[in-house]
Amino acid sequence: MTTSDVIRNFLVAEFLPDLRPADLADDYDLIGNGVIDSLALIRVITWLGNEFDIDLDQVEFAEENFTSVSAIRAFTESALDEQYRAA
């Protein structure tokens, strides 16, 4: 399972229960379409920290990192790369 698949499955389970994971496009605007609001963003960030073992205290957050599955994947991979380099 790819990082995008894991993220997509979480988003569908938590915020889009009437959708199948395969139906959530990588570029679907989660914020613009009201799937992720400020409270949901906190849930997504917390989940990412737990799921991918990201040290959330060492990461800078920007709303554009959470607009789509692709953006969240890129953010996650970047955060993991930074942690790896810092270790």
pLDDT at position 52 over 80? yes
The beta strands (E) that lie in 1-87 are given as none
- Model confidence over 9-38: pLDDT tens digits? 999 999 999 999 999 999 999 999 999 999
pTM as predicted: 0.93
pLDDT at position 59 over 90? no
Q: For the domain that residue 74 is a member of, what is the CATH number?
A: 1.10.1200.10
Question: Residue 87 — pLDDT band, cuts 50, 70, 90?
Answer: low
Q: How many domains does the chain have?
A: 1
Domain, as residue range, for 58: 3-86
What's the CA gap between 12 and 77, in Å, rounded? Answer: 20
- Amino acid (1-letter code) at residue 63: E
What's the CA gap between 52 and 77, in Å, rounded? Answer: 9
Q: Whole-number mean pLDDT of the chain?
A: 94
